A and B are shown apart, each in its own frame.
Chain A
């Protein structure tokens, strides 16, 4: 086989029905291999430590602190996280991204799209759902009068804004690239830099969303 090694994935979700659904959908994708499953925070930490996966598909809402708790407990390991949730609430999405996840997709995502997202996260890029892109635009366009803005972290460049707008409009990376006359790699760089700002910025809206996170 000339094909590169498949991406090793651990699936963390407290609903076993959902896990088996994802497993079935990803089975069609030869580039992804599910090496472990976990139904809770403690189990997830153990499975991730044992299997050393490339990517963890992480449910946002779980008992005992949810996906955020898993992120906090395996912070030091070389593993990337893609958050998966039915919730569209800003505090859930932003909360899990700021805790360290490299992307966020909703559970309605199709099998092929999920496979592509997993590979993208494995390569160190970010994955934004349209809604996440919308949240970021919203948070970064709101005027912040209370204090000085750090242009490095608290503001988006014009190009980043354009990329996010197209993401929010439902464009795929390739479509964005051809639309803006840039390479896909450049699109990925822009999105990763937005992710970094999203994780590190002190903008009020972001920290509010990240801390107000409610558990359902």
Chain B
């Protein structure tokens, strides 16, 4: 025997809804066109607003159609449906007013406050709708959600409350029971205040717990980021180092590269701009470290936007570092750069083999063309001091005053 399908339940529609999805849901359930259901509501509404009351009651009673959390939100077919519904509402309102006899303010003065309060309630209840509540919760837990939504929610809440209050107040005022209600109101407020005081610790704790929870979530997120980063970089490098453990050069290169990367990630000021001189110099130093397995101790004082001339300084610095790495025969090179308003100075220094500048062949392209020539072409200067056995220092300076 075949299992009977579970009886279809009546849900408020999540898709194709206009107000709360009651009409659409009913239509789905009864397998009729939603338009007919809406017309039925509109007609019923003309009988002393009976249709509206029915609609509200169904809204309160019928659960929202469950939607898979990850299902993409289909755009509501609002543009098409809204016109129809507005028309229906207008018809219902007109019918209602007609049946009561126009002018409204004349013989049915209480209708206005009631409508006012009803509208306010509708706004408030729509906030209490389940998916709205979910959205609220998401908003309060993750600040990444656009905060505009939250402010919209608050505006709606306050607006709804004001509407209801206005409705109730004008009802009391118009029906002449205001003074009687005032006494009750005072008593009610007193009771509410007492309740608020009694439960204040509870609320307070609730808020504190929420804050705490959020903070912990952020912290664990940060920890996850850190773990991910360490895994992607440091652990991989450690694995590589173990594989190359019999090649000291390779190990040193890997370790130094990883150190530089991790250092940048941990300590680099967040406001640093990559297009600037200091960043460009450090990038060049990193390249040389990687390519020649040396350590470049770089210290940069001040910073500036890289223009043509500073670009030339960066390239000349690179060349000087490469020369030191290739010819000095030492593991450490010092790089010092200072940006002053009037000029930029760079020193590249090693304590290596050194050479006699007089004896350098004219065809040693590195020094002639890439360093001295490049600097002079851009209006700068390069000085090379070297003592055999005591190391070499290249000084680059570039005037910044004229543009």
Contacts and interface: CB of A to CB of B under 8 A. Distances in A.
A170 B334 CA distance: 6
Nearest to B266: A216
Contact of A88 (B263, B301, B347, B349): B263
B37 interface: no
A169 B334 contact: yes
B47 interface: no
Contacts of A170: 297, 332, 334, 336, 349
B301 A138 contact: yes
Nearest to B350: A170
Interface residues of A, number: 17
A134 interface: yes
Contacts of B297: 130-131, 170
A133 interface: yes
Nearest to B256: A108
Nearest to A137: B301
A168 B345 CA distance: 13
A130 B267 contact: no
Given A87-B267, A168-B336, A131 B302 contact: no
A141 interface: yes
B15 interface: no
A89 interface: yes
A165 interface: yes
A130 B302 contact: no
Contacts of A165: 336, 338
Interface in B322-343: 332, 334, 336, 338, 340
A175 to B, nearest CB: 9
Interface of B: 263, 266-267, 295, 297, 299-302, 332, 334, 336, 338, 340, 347, 349, 393
Interface of A: 87-89, 108, 130-131, 133-134, 137-138, 141, 165, 168-171, 216
Given A88-B263, A89-B266, 18 more contacts: A87-B267, A88-B267, A89-B267, A108-B295, A130-B297, A130-B299, A130-B334, A130-B336, A131-B299, A134-B300, A134-B301, A138-B302, A141-B302, A165-B338, A168-B301, A169-B334, A169-B347, A170-B332
